[in-house]
Amino acid sequence: METNSSKSFLGTSTDIGVPFIAVANHKGGVGKTTTTLNVAADLALFYGKKVLVMDMDKQAHCAFFSGLERREGIEKLFSANYKQVVLSELVQKIDLTDNLCIDLLGNIGSHGRGLERVERAMVKNDDRDNIYDLVINLIKAHRYFFGQYDVVLIDCPPGVTMITKNIYRFADYIIIPTSAHESSFDGIDQLVREVARYSGKVKSKVMGFVLTREKPHSAVRSTILKFSEGLLRAKSLQMRIPVIGYIPESARVEEATTKSLGTCPSLAVYAPKSKPAVAYEALTDNVAKMFGWKKQSKRGGK
Ligand SMILES: Nc1ncnc2c1ncn2[C@@H]1O[C@H](COP(=O)(O)OP(=O)(O)OP(=O)(O)O)[C@@H](O)[C@H]1O
Ligand SMILES: [Mg+2]
């Protein structure tokens, strides 16, 4: 994973040299969308990366949280004439600062019914390998579009669906946010096993856990570390998943979403000195380190 730039990055599933990083957990409300948008914004703000956010959730929260209009989007990628689709026309810009933005390829048409149709079609032809090939071919057919980005972050929907299973397979890396409640660990075992089942290379794929909504003095840190040890002992997995971010519970997160409507709910922009902003920057630093990306500006830098 250690390279000097994303363009020299090798071994991505699509061979277009751009890492696809999915933010996934079957459990709802654990901070997937918040993590996707904050890491995306921090990579743009502090690392000068050109970032595409792919919103694969029919709830369309990336667009909704960013105050963007709901309109036709990512489902076009799965249409019959996908090769002719001009994806750049479907991208919406999420403004971070006057001269910086991240791009969103969202599932925002008809309140997400587009992706629902894609999902139904996938279920009807329950043939995992063909669907995987289809997704990879769709991405390759649009290699120019995806190739202009340094990194693609995928906001996954909750639940276990044909779409999530395919994302586990085609994404190069997976970040697993989990809220700091013990009940939140229930589904992780299943998620990790599913990544193993659908991709066959879980060890190199799962980047790490992000512990979200952490309360001061909570005992959950040690629980998740024990859980990680447990995976190491589990005969079938034999792996340790590192914790790559600790995000505190903070009213600033909700505020950033509700009060910054119309712009990106990025904590680095809305409340740059707040604890969750600092924590998301540290998480982004950890992600960037894995790719050898160099930091270009400090917190609050625009
Ligand atoms: N660190 C935090 N402190 C306080 N609130 C938070 C924190 N992280 C997320 N939230 C809030 O928790 C709620 C759920 O977060 P988010 O939408 O990111 O979760 P999700 O996993 O994407 O949910 P879904 O499964 O529905 O897509 C949101 O209202 C968000 O503002
Ligand atoms: Mg979400």
The tokens of 256 are what?
A: 């950033």
Distance CA 210, CA 178 (A): 6
Question: In a structure prediction context, what are the per-residue pLDDT tens digits for the chain, which is 302 residues long?
Answer: 433 344 333 346 677 889 999 999 999 999 999 999 999 999 999 999 999 999 988 888 888 888 887 667 777 777 777 788 888 888 989 888 877 888 988 766 555 567 777 777 777 766 666 677 778 888 888 899 999 999 999 999 998 888 888 888 889 999 999 886 767 667 787 888 788 777 666 667 889 989 998 887 767 777 777 777 666 666 666 677 888 999 999 999 999 887 766 677 899 999 999 999 999 999 999 999 999 999 998 654 44
Please, are residues 155 and 61 in contact by the beta-carbon 8 Å criterion? yes
Q: How far is the CA of 59 from the centre of ligand 2 (A)?
A: 7
Amino acid at 259: K
Ligand 1 site, CB within 6 A: 28-34, 57, 59, 61, 158, 212-213, 247, 249-250, 253-254, 257, 276
Instruction: Give the pLDDT score at 302.
Output: 40
Collapsing DSSP to helix, strand or coil, 155 comes out as: strand
How many other CB atoms are found less than 10 A from the CB of residue 71? 12
Q: What is the DSSP letter of 141?
A: H
For ligand 1, atom 7, which residue shows the shortest CA distance? 213
Residue 240: how many CA atoms within 13 Å on its side-chain side? Answer: 6
Confidence at residue 90, expressed as pLDDT on a 0 to 100 scale: 87
pLDDT of residue 237: 64
Contact status, residue 103 vs residue 51, Cβ threshold 8 Å: yes
* Ligand located closest to 34 CA: 1
Angle, alpha carbons 139-132-81 (nearest 5°): 50
Mutate to test the pocket of ligand 1, among 23, 25, 33 (most ligand atoms within 8 A of CB): 33
Break the chain into its structural domains and give their ranges.
6-291
Written as six digits, the tokens of 286 are: 């950890």
Select from 39, 155, 253, 260 the residue to mutate for testing ligand 1; criterion: most ligand atoms less than 8 Å from CB.
253
What spacing in Å lies between the alpha carbon of 24 and ligand 2's midpoint? 9
36 vs 184: CA distance, rounded Å: 18
Residue identifier of the C-alpha nearest atom 30 of ligand 1: 254
For residue 26, report the distance from its CA to the centre of ligand 1, in Å.
14
How many residues does this entry show for the chain?
Answer: 302
Backbone torsions φ then ψ of 282, nearest 5 degrees: -65, -40
The beta strands (E) that lie in the chain are given as: 20-23, 51-55, 92-97, 100-105, 151-155, 173-179, 206-214, 243-248
Q: For the chain, how far is it from start to end, CA to CA, in angstroms? A: 28
Ligand 1 atom index nearest CA of 57: 27
**Beta strand spans in 134-279 (E):** 151-155, 173-179, 206-214, 243-248
- Return the CATH architecture of domain 6-291: 3-Layer(aba) Sandwich (3.40)
Report the atom number in ligand 1 closest to the C-alpha of 250: 3
